[in-house]
A and B are shown apart, each in its own frame.
Chain A
């Protein structure tokens, strides 16, 4: 647990010196393998922090909670590489100023946690670049391959079945750091584009809209899937969209703060294969 101790010391320094006004990290959760977010403002609280391989939630979404960064003070936050990518995207989409974010980077293999060198998003560009080289980020899984092999009709039936459980709680949206809009399209009812009722049409509408809004922005942190109370395998959709975007535009989201949003930018050499 050397890393946890190192980081607690770092956090104490950061808070007692006044470098940051808040640290966002993890504390124990309701079961031994769950962790909850922890927000601390004083050095004394640092000992409540835990850091181990069970710390998997991408905490970056808390940074864009209304007003947190508006006083231009700094905030430190524990992040895995996916979380650092989220910071880059949020900065590229003008939702935060990355200079205000002190990153306490970590990653884990098995139960071993290691620290990542660097304090600001820009310091991790080499690491993120190497992740792009090795993308897909996560090792492929059996279910994903199975869905890929299905005929369109089978795949439709598969998702219809999966989505039939969706209760439109929008927990997936709340959990996603990229879903920061003040008013989400599903909350707009003049007109009501996305049907709120829990039937095939409404369920497809919501989940397809979600997939498109995250295309080229999702970092596959898995927050959405873990938040889903009915265990819809949202990661399969995220993975598929990530693949589409990298194949069509060679775009790997979150590499740096100047990356243009892929679906809002045009390049002369963009492939036109999708234009009918």
Chain B
């Protein structure tokens, strides 16, 4: 016979203020099958848990219902306590009377009634709970890091330095991401390439890191500890083994005017190219969209110039299958295209550029070798206007969020400009200066006090060209006056937005994303580097706009999560898995198709002489994640989910 213990928690005032816990305990005490019904201020506390254990032992309870907060909070806590008292942990259920009741209601009487319903419904479920045993699954100790920007490189190095294997996949021909494009970095103004390139080289040469560049993730199957990943190695048309990176082909390629992506269109490149001089690996690829041979079948000049016979126009994409235990997603961001702000003239006037383009102008490795020269005529601009929040915090046309790094990089740009053009003038239109971070406010103060950046608090309404100048009209809200500035160059502090394919990619690997396409963490405060999919972690700007220190910190945090996972041989998994009734299964294979984890196989049922009687679905317990999709799909109602069986759920519903 069922002997259920009901433990009603006040959660301090959280529940106690809105639910009459004494009444609740009394009412549940009268419910059939309930042997104990008690209340307490904090059951999750040590004495609270002890009292639950004691009640189990003293009364030989067969099941426990803790009426408290969300099971996400403390289900594990109470199941552990039950196990310690000798009860199968899966005989413990949580009735959520906080998030689903006290927090959302104001009328105490009605909230109490509702809490009774919720708790009774759980008692009815627990009466039908079965003893379950956790499932053990092996862990493949190999991590996949997707994205070779600073975040991905940092995560890969941390995992590799701890002695575990890493596969680092980057879709561009070289590692580096955006950080490789930056000139100098706030708040210390050290040269980005000087701190970045050694990391890139270290990652490429690390014995524990397998680097796959110019590669894309085709598919991710499986689950934590046991992912199966297919990678497409895009054909470079250059044999990585024999190519020495001498660059003869690049010098000979007749196409020299392709806008360089790395230089944000301010510089030019050839059709066979490396994105930048310090590329890792320093071996070229052929840009098939532009290459003359791929367009009309003639040319192959590069082939002739290569002493090592490394160029192969017939090269095809190849596929690699990987067994992976954990994944770090570090796919970064892109900057928004400002052409949608017609009033700023981006795309119309060549001297209106974005922040990333300014980085290239200021970079020693950039198209102007670090001289600030404006794109239209190569002259040194004497007056530069910076417009902050170009796209950020603008619900009407841009994005609602703050891009976080633009205040800082604009201050940096003003400083870099002042250091290079000593008599130049800078004007910065801003909404607020958000400089929270170690050394950040000091940094932006320096831009104002030492490098004489003139900050104008207000928005720009229009930029137009007049007598060879860019006229900037805005408003100074502190003076309450309109301002007009004749500038030689305008720099837009463009918003960081998700990669163009961020949402699609999230679906490929099976993680969640927000309305913009930034990847969702499992819990913003308590689990900020885990995605909601077990075994997949996040690092860097793919999660939200971030600067380098934040990206690196998150990457190291992800690496530590991966290492914690790899510290065990086997993972213990919840035994919440689907079980199919072979007698009633119609073999329609709907569940096979519907299962997002490919956990369902087709099984032959044979008679004694080995003749096929019928084919039915079979759930592989190692693969099933207990999502319940198949249960909802099966028309013949053949599948049941352990821990959430139809009987349990039915009883729960009827208990309401």
Contacts and interface: CB of A to CB of B under 8 A. Distances in A.
- The yes or no verdict on A and B being binding partners is yes
Interface of A: 93-95, 180-185, 188, 190-191, 193, 213, 260-261, 263-266, 268
Contacts of A213: 635
Interface string B569-605: 0000000000000011111111101101000000000
A181 B593 contact: no
Nearest to A194: B637
A93 B589 contact: yes
Given A93-B589, A193-B650, A264-B590, 12 more contacts: A93-B590, A94-B587, A94-B588, A94-B589, A181-B635, A184-B636, A185-B637, A193-B646, A261-B588, A261-B593, A265-B594, A266-B594
A184 B635 CA distance: 8
A181 B638 CA distance: 10
Contacts of B420: none
- Sort A-B residue pairs by CB-CB distance and give the 6 closest, nearest first: A191-B650, A181-B636, A264-B590, A183-B584, A264-B594, A93-B588
Given A185-B637, A265-B594, A95 B588 contact: yes
Contacts of A265: 593-594
Chain A CB within 10 A, most for which of B584, B586, B635, B638 = B635
Contacts of B584: 181-183, 188
B591 A264 contact: yes
A168 to B, nearest CB: 17
Chain B CB within 10 A, most for which of A184, A191, A193, A260 = A191
Given A94-B589, A182-B584, A264-B591, A191 B647 contact: yes
Contacts of B585: 182
Given A93-B590, A190-B647, A268 B507 contact: yes
Nearest to B504: A268
Contacts of B636: 181-185
Nearest to A190: B647
Interface string B613-651: 001000000000000000001011110000000110011
21 contacts: A93-B589, A181-B584, A181-B636, A182-B583, A183-B583, A183-B637, A183-B638, A185-B635, A185-B636, A193-B637, A260-B593, A261-B588, A261-B590, A261-B593, A263-B590, A263-B594, A263-B633, A264-B591, A265-B594, A268-B504, A268-B507
B652 to A, nearest CB: 11
Contacts of A184: 636
Interface residues of B, number: 24
A19 to B, nearest CB: 24
A94 B615 contact: yes
B505 to A, nearest CB: 11
B599 to A, nearest CB: 14
A275 to B, nearest CB: 12
Nearest to A95: B588
B591 A180 contact: no
Contacts of B587: 94-95
Contacts of A190: 646-647
Contact of A264 (B586, B633, B650): B633
Interface string B384-409: 00000000000000000000000000
Contacts of B647: 190-191
Interface in B501-523: 504, 507
A254 to B, nearest CB: 15
Nearest to B650: A191
B654 to A, nearest CB: 8
A220 to B, nearest CB: 19
Contacts of A266: 594, 596
A110 to B, nearest CB: 37
B511 to A, nearest CB: 14
B646 A191 contact: yes
Contacts of B590: 93, 261, 263-264
B645 to A, nearest CB: 9
A134 B650 CA distance: 43
A188 B594 CA distance: 22
A212 to B, nearest CB: 9
Contacts of A188: 584, 637
A210 B596 CA distance: 25
A162 B365 CA distance: 78
Contacts of B589: 93-94
Contacts of B507: 268
A248 B650 CA distance: 31
Nearest to B503: A268
A268 B596 CA distance: 13
Nearest to B507: A268
Contacts of B594: 263-266
A266 B598 CA distance: 13
A173 B583 CA distance: 20
A182 B593 contact: no
Interface in B205-245: none
Contact of A181 (B504, B586, B615): B586
Chain A CB within 10 A, most for which of B583, B588, B596, B651 = B588
Contacts of B504: 268
A188 B589 CA distance: 20
A94 B507 CA distance: 28
Nearest to A268: B507
Contacts of A95: 586-588
Contacts of A181: 584, 586, 635-636
Nearest to B593: A264
B124 to A, nearest CB: 12
Nearest to A260: B593
A194 to B, nearest CB: 10
Contacts of B586: 95, 180-182
A181 B130 CA distance: 28
Contacts of A180: 586
Interface in B478-513: 504, 507
A184 B586 CA distance: 10
A158 to B, nearest CB: 27
B532 to A, nearest CB: 16
Nearest to A192: B650
Contacts of A191: 646-647, 650-651
B593 to A, nearest CB: 4
A187 B588 CA distance: 18
Contacts of B650: 191, 193
B409 to A, nearest CB: 35
Contacts of A183: 583-584, 636-638
Contacts of A264: 590-591, 593-594, 633
Nearest to B602: A94
Interface in B14-60: none
A93 to B, nearest CB: 4
Nearest to B645: A191
Contacts of A94: 587-589, 615
Nearest to A179: B635
Contacts of B596: 266
Chain B CB within 10 A, most for which of A94, A190, A260 = A94
A260 B590 CA distance: 9
Nearest to B581: A183
A213 to B, nearest CB: 5
Contacts of A263: 590, 594, 633
A184 B594 CA distance: 20
Nearest to B508: A268
A95 B587 CA distance: 7
Contacts of A260: 593
Nearest to B594: A264
Nearest to A191: B650
A60 to B, nearest CB: 15
A193 B589 CA distance: 23
Interface in B447-482: none
A264 B650 CA distance: 24
Contacts of A93: 588-590
A213 B636 CA distance: 10
B604 to A, nearest CB: 13
A186 to B, nearest CB: 9
